Structure 1
Amino acid sequence: MVEGKISPIHGWAAMKAEGPVEPWSYVPRPLGPNDVEIQIQFCGICGSDLHTIDSGWGPTTYPAIVGHEIIGKVITKGEKVSNLDIGQTVGVGAQVFACLQKDCKACSIDMDPHCPKGVFTYNAKYSDGENAQGGYAEAVRVDANYVIPIPSNIEPQYAASLMCAGVTVFTPMIHNGVKKGDRVGVVGIGGLGHLALQYARALGCEVTAFSSSDNKKEECFKLGATRFINIKKEDDLAKAEKSLDHLFITSNARSNDYTQFSRWMDLRGKICLLALPENKIELNPGSLILGSVYFGGSLIGGINDLKSALEFASKHNIKPVIEKLPMEKVNEGIQRVRDGKVRYRVVLEN
């Protein structure tokens, strides 16, 4: 690989729904004056990657290189990029472009993931018609605004999962006003959930972990939970009634009936959906109205949210639990995620 001259870029692409990813190369879009090219060192595997590989959220444009928890070093940059240095360790999350203009409603309020001109890291198109390709590869080219410096005290392999999973759980906590002393619940102790426990605890909250078995109970306490509820045990569920101010749903529930969650909320409690099921969910509106419970969702986080999530993790030593695999074993990593065997994020290494 010649510095600044990576053409084509080699990676691992999904060629069809539910198939393995395969070696594939593409010619990247020309390096613009505001672009940066990154030599990828690490890339996390996210549940969103699997939904995209499988066309679970709608048609995927194949070939598709997924992966949006990218960590690497800047190897070349456009002439207008002054805030990043060659050789600097940086990260890229789930978005690679937005207009960032003051007259854009979304961008003007730091909600750039909702920008009409926004481009996600993969399975998306730039305005020039070029496809965006992700991090299961040796390199990537993106707009410099979406290249985030990594704090020096966060090791690169651990920073990867913070670029999506970390910011996804931290952003709604901040924007929903989670504060010290609040009672916070986390459903699903997996890739997102184990980080949500850490962020909530660092915010000074009383944290309840909800899981369908006891096999993660001790780990939950180590990660920051102050209480553990096994949702398969009636005695445990009775203790959860009206016990929470905030609830973050970080994994798809085994049942499509989401009414159960409202029973755990105190008056004016807020439920935030972070996992995106491929099927419709069921929800009894009476359970929300009678308890004055709010039900909403959160996408990812904008540029400023991502910077804040990294700074907060740096200050409070928040670190994902990872399993590291070489990039060429990407299909093994994907299968481990499919089988639910990972504790708690797979990170691929070039």
Structure 2
Amino acid sequence: MHKIQAWGASAAGKPLAPMSIERREPGPRDVVIEILFCGVCHSDIHQARDEWSGAMFPMIPGHEIVGRVTRVGGEAKKFAVGELAGVGCMVDSCRACGPCTEGLEQFCEKGNAPTYNGTEMDRKTPTYGGYSTEIVVDEGYALRVPTGLDPAGVAPLLCAGITTYSPLRQQGCKPGDRVGVVGLGGLGHMAVKLAASMGAKVTVLSTSAAKEADARRLGAADFVVTKGGNAFERLAGKFDIIVDTVSAPHDYNAYLGLLRPRRAMVLVGAPPAAVPVQPFSLIMGGKQLAGSLIGGIAETQEMLDHCEKHGIVSDIEIIPIQKINEAYERVLASDVRYRFVIDMASLRGPSA
């Protein structure tokens, strides 16, 4: 074990602050990654403040990690020293259950090892995330980062990117499909970019008229303000796929009415309380209300390769680690376009 620098929360609700943590020495199949950039996900805030309960402290958040490989284990073949690598929302799984063998490690029947706020598969060793100078991970749970893309902009792809890519792939998004994206934030802006890159005609459905210019810049063909007016009547039965990224309470039934028969609305946003769904919103038209949770390792790599082909990265604002508490408050105020990314050089510098 060796100590490294990090920023984390010592208890629920405490501001994040500098601390040191221990990383294991690399095993035969491990890679050591010097972290260059780490995205800031809204779920980092939920977990650091124990808003989902069960948080483990001290906690080092961060599961949108891009860095450079500095060491490889003797049996590791996937990476060479000096190459870029990424780590997303998990660092291991049982590797033997049905979901794991099907490439769905996110649904591991024994529970995967989350990148932070959890344990390794031994259920003893705590996991610490990317608000730190390095991470040690089995090469099978590290991703190849395209060299042709800005590595800072790639970092949020490892959560926001795969979270929105996976439902589009599940629903067979193809050229000519009409895709509705509910909400234009960290997830929504990636859904727009990805659906447009698949050849879909994208409509952003938002309560804020001020976001129209951004939506069109990101690739949306249309923008509809859903607050007031007759938007739901006018768009009834128009969409092949709806990706709902909103985590605030809203009426699922209204959006289900916008689907064509036998099409699906996929939830990637999670409101804090149960949302009523009327049976006939689904029965009439044979519609589907589905959910999606990130993706497996293979699908995440597929997403990164797709983004390289189409030149897609997240729209970001880079910050030093010393501004992380301010960034959390700005996320809660929707004051970022569209993801914060921490430059980890700030953790190694003289002001760290």
Fold agreement, TM-score > 0.5: yes
Tell me how far apart the structure 2 counterparts of residues 319 and 344 of structure 1 sit (CA, whole Å).
11
CA shift at 1:186, angstroms? 0.5
Which residue matches 1:349? 343
Give the TM-score normalised by the residue count of structure 1. 0.94
Tell me how far apart the structure 2 counterparts of residues 195 and 344 of structure 1 sit (CA, whole Å).
9
Tell me how far apart the structure 1 counterparts of residues 193 and 222 of structure 2 sit (CA, whole Å).
13
1:210 to 205, 211, 218: 205
2:255 to 250, 253, 261: 261
Question: What is the CA deviation profile of residues 94-126 of structure 1, one whole-angstrom value per residue up to 9, with x for unaligned ones?
Answer: 11112333xx21022211111134211111111
Question: What is the CA deviation profile of residues 132-173 of structure 1, one whole-angstrom value per residue up to 9, with x for unaligned ones?
Answer: 110011111111111112111111111101111111111111
Does structure 2 retain, via aligned residues, the 8 Å contact 1:288–1:294?
A: yes
2:52 to 52, 57, 61: 57
Which residue matches 2:132? 137
Which residue matches 2:227? 232
- Overall identity of the aligned pairs, in %: 37
The residue type paired with residue 74 of structure 1 is V
CA shift at 1:189, angstroms? 0.3
Q: Which moved more, 1:38-47 or 1:328-337?
A: 328-337
Q: Which moved more, 1:273-282 or 1:320-329?
A: 273-282
Q: Indicate whether 1:108 and 2:92 are aligned.
A: no
Q: Indicate whether 1:173 and 2:186 are aligned.
A: no
Tell me how far apart the structure 2 counterparts of residues 142 and 279 of structure 1 sit (CA, whole Å).
35
Q: 2:230 is paired with a residue of what secondary structure?
A: helix
1:122 to 110, 116, 123: 116
CA shift at 1:319, angstroms? 2.1
* 4+ residue segments displaced more than 3 Å: none
Which residue matches 2:289? 295
Tell me how far apart the structure 2 counterparts of residues 299 and 88 of structure 1 sit (CA, whole Å).
28
Q: Which runs of 5+ in 1 are unaligned?
A: 1-5
Q: 1:306 is paired with a residue of what secondary structure?
A: helix
Question: What is the CA deviation profile of residues 166-199 of structure 1, one whole-angstrom value per residue up to 9, with x for unaligned ones?
Answer: 1111111112211111111101101011011011
Alignment of 1:158-197 (within 5 A): 158-197=153-192
Q: Which moved more, 1:45-54 or 1:26-35?
A: 26-35
Does structure 2 retain, via aligned residues, the 8 Å contact 1:229–1:237?
A: no
Does structure 1 retain, via aligned residues, the 8 Å contact 2:69–2:80?
A: yes
1:73 to 65, 68, 71: 68
2:279 to 285, 289, 294: 285
Q: Which moved more, 1:85-94 or 1:10-19?
A: 10-19
Which residue matches 1:247? 242
Does structure 1 retain, via aligned residues, the 8 Å contact 2:93–2:121?
A: no
Q: Which moved more, 1:22-31 or 1:36-45?
A: 22-31
CA shift at 1:235, angstroms? 3.0
Tell me how far apart the structure 2 counterparts of residues 343 and 131 of structure 1 sit (CA, whole Å).
32
Q: CA RMSD in A?
A: 1.4
2:87 to 81, 92, 102: 92
Tell me how far apart the structure 1 counterparts of residues 265 and 174 of structure 2 sit (CA, whole Å).
15
Q: 1:19 to 1:241 in 2, by over 3 A?
A: farther
Q: 1:159 is paired with a residue of what secondary structure?
A: helix
Give the TM-score normalised by the residue count of structure 2. 0.94
Q: Which moved more, 1:64-73 or 1:280-289?
A: 280-289
Q: Which moved more, 1:275-284 or 1:63-72?
A: 275-284
Q: Which moved more, 1:28-37 or 1:105-114?
A: 28-37
1:20 to 15, 18, 23: 15
CA shift at 1:58, angstroms? 2.4
The residue type paired with residue 13 of structure 2 is E
Tell me how far apart the structure 2 counterparts of residues 177 and 58 of structure 1 sit (CA, whole Å).
35
Q: 1:234 is paired with a residue of what secondary structure?
A: coil
Q: 2:261 is paired with a residue of what secondary structure?
A: strand
Q: Which moved more, 1:7-16 or 1:299-308?
A: 7-16
2:321 to 309, 327, 331: 327
Tell me how far apart the structure 1 counterparts of residues 231 and 283 of structure 2 sit (CA, whole Å).
25
Which residue matches 2:350? none
CA shift at 1:237, angstroms? 3.0
Which residue matches 1:198? 193
Does structure 1 retain, via aligned residues, the 8 Å contact 2:158–2:300?
A: yes
CA shift at 1:83, angstroms? 1.6
Which residue matches 2:303? 309
Tell me how far apart the structure 1 counterparts of residues 9 and 195 of structure 2 sit (CA, whole Å).
35
Does structure 2 retain, via aligned residues, the 8 Å contact 1:230–1:237?
A: no
Does structure 1 retain, via aligned residues, the 8 Å contact 2:146–2:308?
A: yes
Tell me how far apart the structure 2 counterparts of residues 94 and 49 of structure 1 sit (CA, whole Å).
11
| Equivalent pairs, count | 342
CA shift at 1:298, angstroms? 0.6
